[in-house]
């Protein structure tokens, strides 16, 4: 029985990091964590584009455009939605998350998901380089691993049927 597992190897890959500007102190740290991780894992700095959007609601539109361009092997999407006193949080966090997941399935390209959905700003800060690490880094590693895994599956399928 074959077992397939990806590794976070960025060699020869082109990536877009899409960063929501809202809650900027947190999202800047997430974006930097993603970019630094991509470079550490072998993606050439010049092969990374950073797309900045106003807020989490706009992340899916930018992701769709980036995916449709055919320019990228993977995306990393980062942002921070912090719960407030109204149901706005539920709509933005849930719908943006759902749309991003759907785009990954539709385009069959990995999207590292680094959209924080927290109750407080302190929780968001803890996940943007604080006590809980940097979720931008985690999202970049996941996207790279999935890009490698999908490539391995494609190569195995081509070998078997090709």
Q: Is-catalytic flag, 132?
A: no
Q: Which is catalytic among the residues 4, 11, 88, 122? A: 88
N-term to C-term CA, the chain = 20
CB 78 within 8 A of CB 63: no
Distance CA 62, CA 71 (A): 13
CB 74 within 8 A of CB 146: yes
Give me the active site residues, please. 88
């Amino acid at each position: 029985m074959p077992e397939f597992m990806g590794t976070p190897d960025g060699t020869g890959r082109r990536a877009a990091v899409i960063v929501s500007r809202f809650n900027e102190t947190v999202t800047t740290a997430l974006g930097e964590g993603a970019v630094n991780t991509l470079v550490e894992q072998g993606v050439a700095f010049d092969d990374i584009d950073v797309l900045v959007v106003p807020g989490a609601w706009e992340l899916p539109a930018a992701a769709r455009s980036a995916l449709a361009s055919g320019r990228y092997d993977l995306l990393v999407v980062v942002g921070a939605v912090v719960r407030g006193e109204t149901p706005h949080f539920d709509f933005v966090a849930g719908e943006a998350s759902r749309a991003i997941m759907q785009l990954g399935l539709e385009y069959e390209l990995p999207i590292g998901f680094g959209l924080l959905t927290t109750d407080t700003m302190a929780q968001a800060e803890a996940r943007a380089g604080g006590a809980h690490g940097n979720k931008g880094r985690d999202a970049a590693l996941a996207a790279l691993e999935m890009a490698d895994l999908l490539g391995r599956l494609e190569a195995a399928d081509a070998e078997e049927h090709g």
